[in-house]
Amino acid sequence: MNPVLEPLFRTVRATHPKADLRLIERAYDVAAYHHRDQKRKSGDPYITHPLAVATILAELGTDDETLCAALLHDTVEDTAYSLDELRGDFGETIASLVDGVTKLDKVKFGDAAQAETVRKMVVAMSRDIRVLIIKLADRLHNMRTMRYLPEHKRHQKSRETLEIFAPLAHRLGMNTIKWELEDLAFAMLYPKRYDEIARMVSERAPRRDLFLQEVIEKVSGDLREAKIRAVVKGRPKHYYSVYQKMIARDVAFDDIYDLVGIRVLVDSVRDCYAALGTIHARWNPVPGRFKDYIAMPKFNMYQSLHTTVIGPEGKPVELQIRTHAMHHRAEYGVAAHWKYKEEVGAPGPPGKVKPGSDMAWLRQLLDWQKETSDPGEFLESLRFDLSVSEVYVFTPKGQVIALPEGATPVDFAYAVHTEVGHRCIGARVNGRLVPLESRLGNGDTVEIFTSKSPDAGPSRDWLKFVKSGRARNKIRQWFSKERRETAIEAGKEAIGRAMRKQGLPLQRLMSGEALLALARDLRYPDVSALYAAVGEGHVAAQNVVQKLVASIGGVDSAEEDIAETSLPTRLRGRPRGGGGAGVVVAGDADVWVRLSKCCTPVPGDEIVGFVTRGHGVSVHRGDCTNVQQLKAQPDRLVEVSWSPSDDSVFLVAIQVEALDRPRLLSDVTRTLSDQHVNILSASVTTSRDRVAVSKFTFEMGDPKHLGHVLKAVRSIQGVFDVYRVSGAGG
């Protein structure tokens, strides 16, 4: 026997003792011969890939035909070996499996949400489910070795894995494959978020493990007393599922991670219910958290009893109770069919569906596919996951849109495009005109009528019946934006009037960066926010004009071209000499120098000086966006160099990216204060995927201290990236 095959055969003997090892060895020899001159991106011989795919399938307990097809799955596509030769060498079944995988490789997964594409994939898998199982194992090994591909390929494959292959593994009940695919793709797409969750998990592991052990001992003791044979163990946490729950349930990491999960494996269905009674006798169940998937299995054959109880110290404990056969099926899904097929019905060829077996739903799929010419109806039949309350509707061109249950034509319009939603005035469903508040059903074809009027907009009444978060948010945004635009116009007009009264140069004062600098000094994120504040009466227009004139050195300076003045700091008393800024001008140490706020230079940065009129020399970083504009006047550029003194103070702007949680901002600001930096401004935005981006501007005496500051912020729980940015506003 070929020694290379020994690990594979060891697994096959354990999971499928009756497999034909000689056939598998012959398939390996043929594949190795035809791939002999090929290498993978890693430099390894190509045959290592089919061998790894076959090993993954052997661990799932698949039959010898599937293993042979796995070893040969790339030969027809990538070598001179033809399908007819393969059919002659290994028979019709293995040839059709290899052909199925080859065809599945050609399906473009980019538009898998489309009914027709989903259809092709299901046709391929329902002729013989093993085709899809080989494809999933193929993708899993590719994800494990993804680091050798260029970055754009890694991202594309990882996104495909999250959006197509992991959900397919879930539909087939193959949870071990699904979890590994998700974690590998998550680590590839969002490495910093992945590392931060891994760090938070490892920090809490010892404390959580002690509590877990206590619960396991109590449950095991109770079951022993009740004379129920059981294996009780903790349930592993997967990083991607932790992250998904943070987004979906909108809760903090601690609330998810501290929720302890226990799995109880027993011998029979009767023991499942007996174990449930024993556990509920010790701890009170949480109302509404009991689910019986044994009496009513999930779409993918999953069976289990789920309950949540209030355990020791008042902490909730999640329990899953199932038999060993159910557990194997929950882990390996349809792949477990071969291992346990003797339990579920009459013998028959593996992979082909037997009526009455737990695979009967595959037979149904094939029947639906034959009977249904309407892709919408087929897609509805395909929608296995009964726990997700969604409706699937079609655009007039046949594109599928998924909406929450109870959705209306307005939800559909916003799902197509924001502007379609805003301009929606009517709808036709399945060819009939309907009111905008009518509910959509599965397979409906929806056509939206839009207004061409420039003043068209949504109605406030829509908020009473729309069901999707997107539609609700977009309608609210439209109304707040409309009010805001009115306030901005009013504020701009008020500032213009105040300037005209004083005879100031309106064009110059209201353009350039002076206005942006003033907005930042008054703690507004941008000029529009400043205009809105004036329009809403929060700030007086006269006050803004006075500050604007003062900030650029009085009325005389206002006559100059102010595009070059960068973002001036507020003047406090007399201007400082050059030494206070820590910069000296070549040939003249007495010139007043100030550090520009648009790029916040600190010692160590390459810098250039620009002679402003009535405002000394402004110092910019060499890579500042405004330097290109200043170079248009080379006669005003001067050579400057760093010469910091003990009383020099520098502005620094940093950006902090973190997984959002309560008290995150207070933890960051406290850490910055502990590092003895004076925070001047802070802003925080949080995205839908639970990532908080914070920007801080602060003063520092010694820029070398910045490394310590960044390190301290990086150690805060949830923070996965922190770095200096070029300027107070990023």
CATH code, domain carrying 700: 3.30.70.260
Amino acid at position 511, single letter: S
- Cα separation, 103 vs 280, in Å, equals 51
Q: Are 53 and 134 in contact (CB under 8 A)?
A: yes
Catalytic residue among 78, 385, 556, 590: 78
Mean per-residue pLDDT for 8-30? 84
Q: Are residues 127 and 165 in the same domain?
A: yes
The string of DSSP codes covering 160-195 is HIIIIIHHHHHHTT-HHHHHHHHHHHHHHH-HHHHH
pLDDT for 675 beyond 60: yes
Environment class of residue 646 by beta-carbon count within 10 Å: exposed (0-12), middle (13-18) or buried (19+)? exposed
Q: Are 551 and 569 in contact (CB under 8 A)?
A: no
Q: Are residues 297 and 232 in the same domain?
A: yes
Alpha helices by DSSP H, listed for 319-374, are 324-332, 336-340, 360-371
Task: Report phi then psi at 588, rounded to 5.
Answer: -155, 105
- Evaluate whether residue 51 is within a structural domain: yes
How does DSSP classify residue 312?
G
Task: Please give the C-alpha separations between residue 570 and each of 7, 442, 514, 549, 567, in angstroms, as whole numbers.
Answer: 73, 61, 11, 11, 9
- The CA-CA-CA angle for residues 589, 592, 597, to 5°, reads 125
Helix (H) / strand (E) element for 151: namely helix 151-160
Structural domain of 545: 478-549
Mean per-residue pLDDT for 673-681? 81
Q: Are 158 and 143 in contact (CB under 8 A)?
A: yes
* Sign of the alpha-carbon torsion through 544, 550, 555, 556: negative
Q: Are residues 109 and 130 in the same domain?
A: yes
Mean per-residue pLDDT for 405-425? 91
Q: Are residues 165 and 106 in the same domain?
A: yes
Mean per-residue pLDDT for 19-29? 86
- Cα separation, 698 vs 503, in Å, equals 37
Band of residue 574 on the pLDDT scale cut at 50, 70, 90: very low
Q: Are residues 157 and 10 in the same domain?
A: yes
Closest CA to 583 of 634, 617, 552: 617
| pLDDT score at 343 | 38
- Evaluate whether residue 179 is within a structural domain: no
**Residue carrying structure tokens 């009115």:** 486
Top-confidence residue, 364 or 183: 183
Q: Which two tokens stand for residue 480?
A: 């707040």
Amino acid at position 595, single letter: L
Q: Are residues 672 and 527 in the same domain?
A: no
Alpha helices by DSSP H, listed for 172-268, are 175-189, 191-225, 239-248, 253-257
Q: Hey, which of 196-200, 415-419, 479-483, 605-609 has the most confident mean pLDDT?
A: 415-419
Residues forming beta bridges with residue 310, ordered by sequence position: 316
Band of residue 433 on the pLDDT scale cut at 50, 70, 90: very high
- Cα separation, 276 vs 286, in Å, equals 13
**Quick check: helix, strand or coil at residue 416?**
helix
* Sign of the alpha-carbon torsion through 514, 520, 523, 529: positive
Band of residue 411 on the pLDDT scale cut at 50, 70, 90: very high
Q: Are residues 27 and 10 in the same domain?
A: yes
Mean per-residue pLDDT for 217-223? 91
**pTM for this prediction:** 0.56
Q: Hey, which of 324-328, 408-412, 636-640 has the most confident mean pLDDT?
A: 408-412
Query: Of 553-557, 600-604, 637-641, 643-647, which gets the smallest average pLDDT?
Result: 553-557
pLDDT for 526 beyond 60: yes
Question: CATH number of the domain that 30 lies in?
Answer: 1.10.3210.10
- Evaluate whether residue 436 is within a structural domain: no
**Residue carrying structure tokens 């599965």:** 442
Q: Is 637 left (phi over 0), alpha (psi -120 to 50) or beta?
A: beta
Q: Are residues 638 and 656 in the same domain?
A: no
Characterize 476-497 residue by residue with b for buried, 16 or more Cβ atoms within 10 angstroms of its Cβ, and e for exposed: eebeeeeebeebbebbbebbbe
Query: Of 245-254, 351-360, 707-716, which gets the smallest average pLDDT?
Result: 351-360
Mean per-residue pLDDT for 226-248? 80
Q: Hey, which of 12-16, 231-235, 329-333, 515-519 has the most confident mean pLDDT?
A: 231-235
Mean per-residue pLDDT for 260-266? 87
- Evaluate whether residue 454 is within a structural domain: no
pLDDT for 520 beyond 60: yes
Mean per-residue pLDDT for 521-546? 80
Does 20 qualify as catalytic in the annotation? Answer: no
Residues forming beta bridges with residue 621, ordered by sequence position: 607
Question: CATH number of the domain that 319 lies in?
Answer: 3.30.460.10
| pLDDT score at 572 | 36
Closest CA to 534 of 405, 542, 712: 542
Closest CA to 729 of 693, 677, 688: 693
The string of DSSP codes covering 574-588 is SPPPHHHHTEEETTB
- Evaluate whether residue 279 is within a structural domain: yes
- The torsion of the CA quartet 552, 728, 625, 548, rounded to 10 degrees, works out to -20
- Cα separation, 500 vs 359, in Å, equals 81
Q: Are 399 and 418 in contact (CB under 8 A)?
A: no
Catalytic residue among 20, 25, 59, 77: 77
Q: How many domains does the chain have?
A: 5
Top-confidence residue, 230 or 383: 230
Beta strands in 348-452 (DSSP E): 390-394, 400-404, 424-429, 432-434, 446-450
- Cα separation, 661 vs 445, in Å, equals 41
Top-confidence residue, 608 or 573: 608
Amino acid at position 135, single letter: K
- Evaluate whether residue 371 is within a structural domain: no
Mean per-residue pLDDT for 495-513? 69
pLDDT for 441 beyond 60: yes
Mean per-residue pLDDT for 369-395? 50
Q: Which two tokens stand for residue 21?
A: 């090892």
How does DSSP classify residue 262?
E
Q: Which two tokens stand for residue 356?
A: 């009455």
Q: Are 573 and 524 in contact (CB under 8 A)?
A: no
Domain termination residue (choose one: 593, 612, 642): 642
Does 77 qualify as catalytic in the annotation? Answer: yes
Task: Please give the C-alpha separations between residue 427 and each of 259, 396, 449, 515, in angstroms, as whole numbers.
Answer: 46, 12, 6, 46
pLDDT for 359 beyond 70: no
- Evaluate whether residue 346 is within a structural domain: no
Task: Report phi then psi at 610, rounded to 5.
Answer: -135, 125
- Evaluate whether residue 263 is within a structural domain: yes
Q: Are 638 and 609 in contact (CB under 8 A)?
A: yes
Band of residue 390 on the pLDDT scale cut at 50, 70, 90: low
| pLDDT score at 297 | 74
Top-confidence residue, 575 or 174: 174
- The torsion of the CA quartet 376, 379, 380, 381, rounded to 10 degrees, works out to 130
- Cα separation, 404 vs 427, in Å, equals 18
Q: Are residues 620 and 688 in the same domain?
A: no
| pLDDT score at 427 | 94
| pLDDT score at 562 | 39
Q: Are residues 592 and 654 in the same domain?
A: no
Mean per-residue pLDDT for 433-437? 92
Domain termination residue (choose one: 142, 174, 206): 174
| pLDDT score at 438 | 92
pLDDT for 512 beyond 60: no
Q: Are 555 and 511 in contact (CB under 8 A)?
A: no
Domain termination residue (choose one: 501, 532, 549): 549
Q: Are residues 534 and 593 in the same domain?
A: no
What separation, in Å, do the N-terminal and C-terminal C-alpha atoms of the chain show?
64
Other CB atoms within 10 Å distance of the CB of residue 121 = 19
What average pLDDT does the chain have?
77
| pLDDT score at 362 | 52
| pLDDT score at 273 | 93
Q: Are residues 306 and 163 in the same domain?
A: no
Task: Please give the C-alpha separations between residue 397 and each of 82, 147, 261, 374, in angstroms, as whole numbers.
Answer: 39, 39, 46, 13
Q: What distance lies between CA 164 and its chain's CA centroid?
A: 15
> To 10 degrees, what angle do helices 706-714 and 664-674 make?
150
pLDDT for 126 beyond 80: no
Q: What distance lies between CA 49 and its chain's CA centroid?
A: 29
